[in-house]
């Protein structure tokens, strides 16, 4: 009997009673993986790679606590890798490469020992051991409350209003000085005659003798 176990083609000349395995790889099976597979709790090896399987990886596979090898590669599986698969503490070989899986790769126990090749070919996957990191939205700073936003906006408007007043005052003072300088320069003769005559009249009136 020839079985692909842990990525290696192995030939068994005699069926071992203690070894329980299912190898249905390299066929043209379609559809989803049934949840009932999780009832085969004594299974050591499951290989259904290189088919046309679709749908999600059933979380019930986490019930196969004696599983040592799980190969689901070369299919069209989608969705996330269930966190329940981290319960497979005897799992030495895991391969879900070349599917349409998405989300972050689970961590903990055996999943921390798998290499990049176990997950490659899934553009939507992220996290270790892949070089593509996941965005952690939970670590982003909380958005300010409505009251804080209103206080910030009112403070901004207050500061902005005072800046406008100061700029307008300074601009008006500069314009006034410039216009005054132009008027005095162009009307100097008129300015001197007008104010000079008034001063002369006042002096003349003061010098006139009293009767």
Element (H, E) at 7: none
- Beta partners for 79? 101
Residue pLDDT, tens place only, 12-39: 677 667 778 899 999 999 999 999 999 9
User: What does pLDDT average to over the chain?
Assistant: 78
Burial annotation 47-78 (CB, 10 A radius, 16+ → b, else e): bbbbbebeeebbebbbbbeebbbbbbbbbebe
Tens of pLDDT, residues 171-190? 566 666 566 666 556 555 65
More confident residue, 132 or 5: 132
Distance between CA atoms of residues 114 and 33, nearest Å: 23
Q: What is the pLDDT of residue 19?
A: 72
For residue 158, the number of C-alpha atoms closer than 13 Å in the C-beta half-sphere is 6
């Amino acid at each position: 009997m020839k079985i692909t176990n842990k990525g290696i083609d192995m030939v068994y000349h005699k069926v071992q009673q203690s070894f329980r395995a299912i190898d249905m790889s390299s066929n043209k099976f379609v559809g989803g993986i049934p949840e009932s597979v999780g009832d085969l709790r004594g299974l050591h090896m499951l290989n259904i790679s290189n088919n046309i399987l679709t749908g999600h990886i059933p979380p019930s596979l986490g019930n196969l606590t004696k599983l040592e090898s799980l190969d689901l590669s070369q299919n069209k599986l989608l969705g996330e890798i269930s966190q329940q698969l981290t319960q497979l503490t005897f799992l030495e070989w895991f391969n879900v490469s070349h599917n349409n899986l998405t989300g972050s790769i689970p961590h903990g126990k055996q999943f921390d020992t798998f290499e990049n090749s176990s997950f490659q070919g899934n553009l939507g996957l992220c996290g270790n051991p892949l070089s593509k990191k996941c965005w952690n939205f939970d670590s982003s700073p909380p958005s300010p409350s409505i009251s804080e936003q209103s206080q910030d906006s009112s403070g901004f408007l207050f500061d902005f209003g005072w800046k406008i007043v100061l700029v307008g005052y300074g601009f008006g003072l500069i314009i006034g000085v410039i216009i005054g300088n132009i008027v005095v320069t162009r009307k100097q003769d008129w300015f001197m005659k007008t104010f000079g005559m008034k001063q002369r009249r006042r002096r003349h009136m003061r010098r006139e003798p009293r009767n």
